[in-house]
Amino acid sequence: MDRTLSSLCNHNIGIYLKACDHKNTSDVGWLLYSARQQDEERPTHMLSSLTNEILGVKWKQVHTTEGFCKPSADDPKVKIFALHIEGPTDKAHDIQQKLPQWYSSSSTSFPDLTKMRLIPPFNTIISREHKANFATLTSHQEELTKRLATTTSWEFATNLLLDKPSPKKVHSDNYL
């Protein structure tokens, strides 16, 4: 226990919240063309309400079944990241069936107007052709994340709650 505490204090290890609070979770897939600048909470709520399941969305590395190899200086591996969706294991298949309505390669309208494509986990792909496409699509994702330009605006008001009428006033108006 003391060793764990000292490791936590020295930032040798960290505590990361799970994307979703299920006993057993499974990968649903990755949303390609997603950006690091996206707020993870918003797609989490949006996808959960669309599928009627509690999902977790986090910015994670796109994994394949190649296995973990210690990166070496001679052969640096390119890490490709995208928004990762996970959900309850018992309903993962249903979620994988539902999500392509909005994020398949043929869909043209997107729930929040952000164009993204869902790709399933690499180990669930059976077709060799699709496995080859997986590499192409992930390289597109890498290219996009490298090229995306950003700008930030601080002109939006965040204290809109203060602008609401006070409950007393509303109550008195109703009373009158």
- How many Å apart are CA 159 and CA 54, to the nearest integer? 29
Instruction: Give ∠ CA 144-96-88 in degrees, rounded to 5.
Output: 110
Name the amino acid, one letter, at 44: T
Does 109 participate in binding another protein (rule CB under 8 A)? no
Binds another protein (CB under 8 A): choice among 73, 157, 162, 176: 157
Pairing of strands 25-32, 81-88: antiparallel
Does 114 participate in binding another protein (rule CB under 8 A)? yes
User: Tokens for 158?
Assistant: 């965040």
Return the residues of window 72-101 that contact another protein according to CB under 8 A: none
Of 112, 50, 44, nearest to 84 (Cα)? 44
Number of residues that bind another protein (CB under 8 A): 26
Measured in whole angstroms, how far is the alpha carbon of residue 150 from the centre of its chain?
A: 19
- How many Å apart are CA 49 and CA 55, to the nearest integer? 9
Does 107 participate in binding another protein (rule CB under 8 A)? no
Binds another protein (CB under 8 A): choice among 9, 73, 75, 156: 156
Does 160 participate in binding another protein (rule CB under 8 A)? yes
> Three-state DSSP class for 11?
coil
Q: C-beta of 134: minimal distance to another protein in Å?
A: 22
Smaller CB separation from another protein, 125 or 144: 144
Does 16 participate in binding another protein (rule CB under 8 A)? no
Does 126 participate in binding another protein (rule CB under 8 A)? no
Return the residues of window 32-51 that contact another protein according to CB under 8 A: 33-35, 37-39, 42
From the list 5-13, 45-53, 95-103, 113-121, the region that binds another protein by CB under 8 A is: 113-121
Binds another protein (CB under 8 A): choice among 2, 74, 129, 163: 163
> Three-state DSSP class for 99?
coil
120, 29 Cβ separation under 8 angstroms: yes
Residues that bind another protein in the complex, under the rule CB under 8 A: 33-35, 37-39, 42, 112-115, 144, 147-158, 160, 163
